[in-house]
Copies of this chain bind each other. A is one copy, B any other.
Amino acid sequence: MAEIVHVPLDGGRAYDIHIGAGLLTNVGEVVNGVARSNRAVIVSQPPIAKHYAKTVADSLVAAGFDAPDVVLFPAGERYKTHRTLEKLYGALYELRPAIDRKTLLVALGGGVVGDVVGFLAATYLRGLDYVQVPTTLLAMVDSSVGGKTGIDYRAGKNLIGAFHQPRAVFADTATLRTLPVRELQAGSAEVIKYGVIRLPRLIDDVIASSEFGTICGPRYPHAVLSGAIRRSCEIKAEVVTRDEYETTGLRAILNFGHTIGHAVEAATNYRRYKHGEAVAIGMIAAACIGEVAGVTPPQVRDDVRRAVFNAKLPSALPDDVSDDALIALLGRDKKSENGAPKFVLARALGDVVSGVAVEESAIREGLAMQRAKYTAEGVPS
């Protein structure tokens, strides 16, 4: 049974997020209602395509589509580059018959697939329709919804990109069963984030889940997982609808934990941490910095830390990355203004404020607090 979260954007850009176990087989049927031709191209990565491309392709064919082409690129954040993009443009260009503006792209995979294929769709032939079929928890609760697309450039995560909304999102929770545990844990960082910014109940879910291992460990009740995904998507849908292009400051709250998180990812060349792991570290950093800035009560830091710990996510900054290195990277953050980073800080669980300019001295003091209080426990090996 699929649950549906509606994203009520105007200008014909509204779409539905379908959530449920086994709904990959329904993709074709639903997509039929939004596609502008019978031509679809599935873009994915080898390990994911191996598991799911046939199911999606069969579903499209059953719904009357031509047998879709499948285009693959290598897995890993380090392939989220200009070079990959150029190869994908080439792959689309080489398809016979040539694809046209009414062709639908299907982004099948995790956050990297969604971001790259979204940007491909935003820019090929000045814009193709696409649907997101996220197969990781992180992509289901966060990156597949809201139309942010892009690639990394040098040390800048998503430095090149565009806003381009999908026509539909399909979160088949059954695909999470084949997801490595570390990926599940990483995804739960974003669920914790939604708890901090809007709905503390989600943090309780994550904390309560410790008895099961992680929120989405194999023994965790499916209904709880599915509910956490739905609630996360509801928050994201509401925020995106009210501030689609991140101009009012509202959408920026979704970046709680991401300011330092992005810097940690960049400083470690996007190789050491999963995105969610870096966000976990960044949420602790945001709590510490908020505490120094007099915005965040210590209890919030404790609560975030407990959730992060229970989800088996890291809370310590990497020893081999200096504060100087992190601060230098902050000036490159997309949310910076005049080189000064902007933070999202928590006033309480469920209540954050965005766009806060923090003095460099306070950032350093916050990072020092984090380094003093949280050691390398939980850092992925």
Q: Which residues of A contact B (CB under 8 A)?
A: 11, 37, 39, 82, 86, 89-90, 93, 97-98, 100-102, 119, 122-127, 148, 150, 153-154, 156, 158-163, 245-246, 331-332, 334-339
Contacts and interface: CB of A to CB of B under 8 A. Distances in A.
A159 B339 contact: no
A127 B162 contact: yes
A97 B331 contact: yes
Contact of A161 (B11, B123, B148, B334): B123
Contacts of A11: 11
Contacts of A125: 159, 161, 334
A339 B93 contact: no
A148 B361 CA distance: 45
B163 A97 contact: no
Given A93-B154, A97-B338, 6 more contacts: A82-B89, A89-B153, A89-B159, A100-B336, A100-B338, A101-B337
Copies of the protein in its oligomer = 2
Nearest to A155: B93
Given A82-B86, A93-B156, A154-B93, A334 B126 contact: yes
B126 A150 contact: yes
Nearest to A39: B338
Contacts of A153: 89, 93
Nearest to A337: B100
Given A126-B150, A127-B245, A150-B126, A159 B93 contact: yes
28 contacts: A11-B11, A39-B338, A82-B82, A82-B86, A82-B89, A89-B160, A93-B332, A97-B339, A98-B331, A98-B332, A100-B336, A100-B338, A100-B339, A101-B337, A102-B337, A119-B123, A122-B162, A124-B160, A126-B148, A126-B158, A126-B161, A126-B162, A126-B163, A126-B246, A127-B162, A127-B163, A127-B245, A162-B162
